[in-house]
Amino acid sequence: MAGTEGIQRVQIYLNERDQAAGQPLYLAVLERLRLEGATGATALRGIAGFGAGSRLRTTGSADLTAAPIVIEWVDRAERVARVLPALDDLLPDALITIEELRAYRAVLRSGGRFGDRTVGEMMAREVAVATRDMALRAAAELMIERAQPLLPVLDDRGGLVGVLSDGDLVRRAGLALPLRLFSALTAAERRAALDLLAPGVVAATLTADPRSAYADAPVPLAISPMIEWGFELLPVLDRDGRLVGLFGVEQALRAGLRNADAAVDAPGRSGAAENGARAIRAAEPPTPVRLVMQGAVPMIAADTPLAETLARLLAAPDRFLVVLQAGRPVGTLTDLYLARTLGEPLRSAWLAALRVPAVPLPAVLEGANAALTAGGLADQAMPSVDQQATMDVAIERMLTGGYERLLVLDQQGQIVGLLARRSLLRALAQSSAA
């Protein structure tokens, strides 16, 4: 009746007074196991025992000796093989045993769609970095050149001391436009925008003590803070605290996509499988897009006049609108698309309205431009996906096309929802947790 999957029990024998970096060693070991993605472990305090030194240790209020501690960890054999060497620096002399188990029933972390992939396997390795004394303008120019909205700030040994984000530049340094809009600017416009930056060095503007991801951690552990705090990118550190890469939404989606072919039960299993209590359960059916899409879609009618269209777009979430005609989508509008496609003097008026603080839309929107409508301004290249398509299809389409979002359509071509990258990220995380 026992399952046939390789499961092992690891037991680590310690002393209650063993220390590591100023804390009990058993707590340091448990934290390392958690970071490395172990399914779970428990520290047990012994009543009495003796080790190689033949010194008896007991517990009790009158006893001043330290009690024995045993950490017990049960997990898949392949995960034990991967994670156990990560404890070598903490436990150079500890007794560690491994036993093969036959489990009647167990719930062990599978990694979901991510398998046992680590952050370090999926991270971006070619990363631009800054130092605390780097000129702020030079740092901003580097972020624009590399299209990297998060710039890790390092000390002399490669340790992370902070990050500089596009949000930091807007909130603390006076940048008038977010960096994502700079691709629509001319060289002269970029220089003029950067001229408004506060003088000084990176140290005055950076975010200190930023969130980061551990290179050897499973992908789901990095996704959790991204969802909870809304981060797009996280610096990735090795065990010594040195920067080794960046991990973001795109890397997380790639990790989920590349592990899409989940293993399923082979036919003809015997034992517990015949009774429905399988040690390895069948993979869930592929998740359709309609179950993870956003139902509320920001829309605007195609015949909406120019002034109202721009005002609606400025107020829209993420400055994104779907343009409808007779109930069907005919295009989309974004602040970046209009910055790239509007002619003068409309373009200058639009860029002024996008600045922080925003400038009111001027009278130039009237007169000769009064005939312009949302439909005439819209981007007719509408990346979309069928509502019955799987998450894998949507992820692959997003990554291949470099899209931030997809329209979700029914069989009649009517829009039924919107699928953003972060929606897919949340769905992947929930799938992995389940």
User: Greater confidence, 285 or 64?
Assistant: 285
Contact between 75 and 33 (Cβ < 8 Å): no
Domain that holds residue 317: 290-433
What is the distance between the alpha carbons of residues 325 and 86, in angstroms, rounded to a whole number? Answer: 59
- The total domain count for the chain is 3
pLDDT of amino acid 25: 95
> How confident is the model over 207-264, as pLDDT tens digits?
998 999 999 888 988 998 899 899 999 999 998 899 999 999 999 999 998 554 433 3
| DSSP code at position 46 | -
| Whether residue 181 has pLDDT greater than 50 | yes
User: What does the pLDDT read at residue 393?
Assistant: 94
The answer to whether residues 83 and 146 belong to one domain is: no
Asked if 105 and 124 sit in the same domain, the reply is no
**Residue 278 scores a pLDDT above 90:** no
| Start-to-end C-alpha separation, the chain | 25
Quick one: pLDDT at residue 430?
Answer: 82
What's 197's domain CATH number?
3.10.580.10
Examine residue 202 and state whether it is found in any structural domain, yes or no. Answer: yes
On whether residue 282 sits in a domain, the answer given is no
Q: Does one domain contain both 364 and 252? A: no
Which of 60-69, 101-110, 143-152, 289-298 is predicted least confidently?
60-69
Instruction: Confirm whether 272 is domain-assigned.
Output: no
Q: What percent of the chain has pLDDT over 90?
A: 65
pLDDT at 152 over 50: yes
pLDDT for 280 equals 40
Tokens encoding 90: 């903490």
Distances (CA, A) of 195 to 137, 138, 199, 393: 8, 11, 9, 44
385 in any annotated domain: yes
Q: Does one domain contain both 172 and 240?
A: yes
How high is the pLDDT of residue 52? 60
Write the burial class of residue 193 (CB in 10 Å: 0-12 exposed, 13-18 middle, 19+ buried).
buried
Does 42 map to a domain? Answer: yes
Can you point out the beta strands (E) in 340-433? 384-386, 405-409, 415-420
Boundary residue ending a domain (62, 83, 109): 109
Output Rg (C-alpha) for the chain, integer angstroms: 28
Per-residue pLDDT of 380-415, as tens digits, reads 999 999 999 999 999 999 999 999 999 999 999 999
Place of tokens 């609108």: 321
Over 60: is that where the pLDDT of 277 sits?
Answer: no
Q: Is there a domain that residue 22 lies in?
A: yes
Amino acid 136: pLDDT: 96
Exposure b/e, 111-139, CB count within 10 A at least 16 = b: bbbbbbbbbbebbeeebebbeeebebbeb
> What percent of the chain stands above pLDDT 70?
86
Q: Is residue 280 in some structural domain?
A: no
Average pLDDT, the chain: 86
Are 112 and 432 within 8 A, CB to CB?
yes
Q: What is the pLDDT of residue 18?
A: 92
Note the pLDDT of residue 110.
Answer: 60
Domain co-membership, 314 together with 414: yes
Distance CA 395, CA 402 (A): 10
Residues 6+ apart with CB under 8 A from 13: 51, 68, 69, 70, 94, 95, 96
The reported pLDDT for the residue numbered 266 is 31
Distance from CA of residue 52 to its chain's centroid? 47
CATH number (domain holding residue 57): 3.30.70.120
| Cβ neighbours for 296, distance < 8 A, ≥ 6 positions apart | 418
The stretch 153-171 carries a mean pLDDT of: 95
Task: Give the rounded distance of the alpha carbon of 203 from its chain centre.
Answer: 26
Residue predicted with more confidence, 376 or 362: 376
The 10s digit of each residue's pLDDT in 36-79 is 888 889 999 988 877 665 566 665 544 456 789 999 999 988 88
Is 115 contained in some domain?
no
By the 8 A CB rule, do 428 and 287 touch? no
Q: Which one is predicted more confidently, 59 or 114?
A: 114
Confidence of residue 114 (pLDDT cuts 50, 70, 90): confident
Tell me: the pLDDT tens digits for 300-350? 999 999 989 999 999 998 999 999 998 899 999 999 999 999 998 899 999
Phi/psi region, residue 321 (left: phi>0; alpha: psi -120 to 50; beta: rest), is beta
Tell me: the pLDDT tens digits for 76-95? 888 899 899 989 999 999 99
Residue given tokens 């390895």 in the structure block: 280
